[in-house]
Amino acid sequence: MNGKFPKIPLFIIATILFGLKTYIIYRFLFHIELENAMQELILAINPFVSAFLIFAISVWLKKPTSQMKFLRYTALIGSVILYFNLVFYRSFTDFITIPQLFQASNMGDLGSSIFSLLEVYDVLLFADVAIIWYLSRKKSDVLSVSYPKSGRVFALAMSLMLLAGNFFLAEMERPQLFTRAFDREYLVKNIGIFNYHIYDLALHSKVKSQKVFADGNELPEIKEYVNEHVQSDESSPLHGIAKGKNLIFISAESMQSFVINNKMKGQVITPFLNSLTKDDSTFYFKNFYHQTQQGKTSDSEFLLENSLYPLSRGAVFFTHGQNEYHALPEMLNQKGYYTSVFHSNNKSFWNRDQMYDSLGYDHFYGEKAFEVTDQNSIGWGLEDKAFFEQSMKYLRSQKQPFYTKFITLTNHFPFELNKDKASIGEFDSNSKTLNNYFQTVRYTDEALRQFFNQLKESGLYKDSIIVIMGDHYGISENHNKAMAKYLGKDQISPYDHVQLQRVPLFIHIPGYDKGKVMSEVSGQIDLKPTLLHMLGVSTKNDIYFGNDLFVDDRKDYIAFRNGDFVSDQYVSTDGICYLRKSGEPVKQKENQDDANKSENPCEPITQKVEKELGYSDDLIYGDLFRFVNFSTGKNSSNTKIK
């Protein structure tokens, strides 16, 4: 070696630096649950496997300058992908999917929400990129840039062997990892974020082709399942109770049930909503769950309007906004209702302008319908009190009967509110998000009280039914430590996390005196048939997966998009079956004969949930409603859909 050290391949240095950085992000910045030593091993291996696979491509580039440039820009692009996932994860405890990249038009509206997710130390996450750039430009004389053919082939073979080994261990740890891919955390934990993105791209290409090859022959099987396992023939005791009345629906942004009838530091959080739980004209559902996924508020709208499940990846509002639907607004239009949405945001956010046309809405009152100033707006836009107040002039002028949906904004992450408008103090925890949350929830509660009074003054109140629903969670898993402190727990268990997915649902019927607190398990998917039946509209030929909330003969579970569920008896999450009322894991008795071991009591419902989610996906991906004539219940080939 003539007294000199051997030259070091830069792609090896890049692999070590980038792999180490990725592992640190996985282990300490993503809140990935590790249950055993095998999962620890796989998580430690896959960052380096992915890095080696990508950076080893450089050895096939003949020019040294091309090799160096490839390594520099690959490290930069890879770091940007990692960082975008990290910022997204801080908000949603989830990973970016290909469909969400098509939602980039939303980014300009996020404003302070994004900046609140950035940390000063984030700049250190690009340190490896700086080192690689420095070495490739200033120390190229000590780096190896020439590789014999055997060396290049060895690097390729080693890449494939490492990848195969990673996948083998992943399949051992999580059988059917790729066929039961509801949980993106499992994919990232087992194969790494970059392989996950490649898999997600392949999956996206597959589902995009489903519409092309769909012909409607899938419908009879879906309808047969729905008739047998989902929809009830039993007539609702409240069928037609609101016939001819206006339907006013309020989507309460990020409102979770843990604030209802509760206090924070001795202060009542939601006095008005608390009063509704005791109102004889109100049905309050205390075990009502949101079922949204990546589409959040838009997913809750989709569930409400269609009684179909949202997609596991992206938002239906974006990915399938041009589909044919048989939605709540369209069905009410056919009964003479005027339909509208009030939301003080721009029409392109969540692709609402296109999707609302597909759902059958007559009019969307977006941000241009409101006077938004510095004094009456904060965070995401117009404050709720001003929003309802300015909406009244339009509401009074609408043709009756009408179905109108209001989407509030103030109680939105990062839950900012001017101190002079806060009527309750902050919580004291390590989470600024949770600390602020109680103030914005109270503000929305006050805005709702004001709106009820305005409805009474306008004369619309007595001729309307009013529904208030929390659209999705506001406090994510990233704030579990603070939530545990508020709830007086040592920690938030998986079972506790599921219970925190409860959101309030109020159905207020002025003049009705038989309201009560409803304890049955229910979810957002149940609203469409419930509201239609209350308005006296038949759903005989419809296809949906919810149940009328007032019917006794209904399925005994609600499903989450990731395959978890809550039933009358059980809660299934993270692969664990819990008793719903006690929160204790179900202890399975094992017989001496292994073949006769008692079955996991959650498994039969899990199978139904997976089938139901799959059928709902088929309807959306295949755009199957285009083949249905809902007035006759026949498909395009004139075959009765039984």
Annotation marks residue 297 as catalytic: yes
**Statement to judge: residues 280 and 383 lie in one domain:** yes
**Statement to judge: residues 441 and 345 lie in one domain:** yes
Residue 502 lies in a domain: yes
**What pLDDT score was predicted for residue 2?**
45
The candidate with the shortest Cα–Cα distance to 471, out of 520, 416, 406, 427, is 406
Number of H helices, E strands in the chain: 21, 22
Where does residue 27 fall: left (phi above 0), alpha (psi -120 to 50 degrees), or beta otherwise? alpha
The candidate with the shortest Cα–Cα distance to 383, out of 373, 398, 393, is 373
Taking CA atoms, 65 is separated from 8, 62, 146, 534, 583, in Å, by 16, 9, 11, 71, 61
Residue 228 lies in a domain: no
Mean pLDDT within 236-263: 96
CATH for 316: 3.40.720.10
**Statement to judge: residues 181 and 293 lie in one domain:** no
pLDDT confidence tier of residue 378, bands split at 50, 70 and 90: confident
**Statement to judge: residues 335 and 423 lie in one domain:** yes
φ and ψ at residue 25, rounded to 5 degrees: -65, -45
Contact in structure between 372 and 382 (CB atoms under 8 Å): yes
φ and ψ at residue 342, rounded to 5 degrees: -115, 125
**Statement to judge: residues 167 and 259 lie in one domain:** no
Residue 231 lies in a domain: no
**Statement to judge: residues 353 and 488 lie in one domain:** yes
**Statement to judge: residues 62 and 197 lie in one domain:** yes
pTM, two decimals, is 0.77
The helix/strand/coil state of 626 is helix
Residue 140 lies in a domain: yes
Range of the domain at 41: 8-209
Q: For residue 125, give every residue at least 6 positions away whose Cβ sits within 8 Å of its Cβ, in sequence order, or none.
A: 21, 25, 79, 82, 83, 86
Percent above pLDDT 70 for the chain:
90
> Position of tokens 């704030």?
479
Instruction: Give 294-316 pLDDT, tens digit per residue.
Output: 889 999 999 999 999 999 887 88
Arithmetic mean of pLDDT over the chain: 88
**Statement to judge: residues 450 and 319 lie in one domain:** yes
Mean pLDDT within 116-124: 85
Contact in structure between 305 and 327 (CB atoms under 8 Å): yes
Instruction: Give 455-467 pLDDT, tens digit per residue.
Output: 999 999 999 999 9
Three-state helix/strand/coil letters over 52-70: HHHHHHHHHCCCHHHHHHH
Residue 559 lies in a domain: no
Percent above pLDDT 90 for the chain:
57
- Taking the C-alpha atoms of residue 34 and residue 608, their distance in angstroms, rounded to an integer, is 28
pLDDT confidence tier of residue 595, bands split at 50, 70 and 90: very low
Residue 121 lies in a domain: yes
Residue 637 lies in a domain: no
Domain end: 549, 568, 590, which one? 549
Compute the residue count for the chain.
Answer: 642
* Angle (CA) 540 543 545, round 5°: 115
**Statement to judge: residues 204 and 303 lie in one domain:** no
**Statement to judge: residues 255 and 398 lie in one domain:** yes
Cβ density class 623-635: b for 16+ within 10 Å, e for less:
bbbebbebeebbb
**Statement to judge: residues 317 and 443 lie in one domain:** yes
**Statement to judge: residues 459 and 323 lie in one domain:** yes
The helix/strand/coil state of 430 is coil
Residue 215 lies in a domain: no
The number of distinct structural domains making up the chain is 2
H-state helical runs in 126-177? 127-138, 149-173
Domain end: 501, 534, 549, which one? 549
Candidate list 297, 339, 410, 440, residue with the active-site label: 297
Domain end: 549, 575, 598, which one? 549
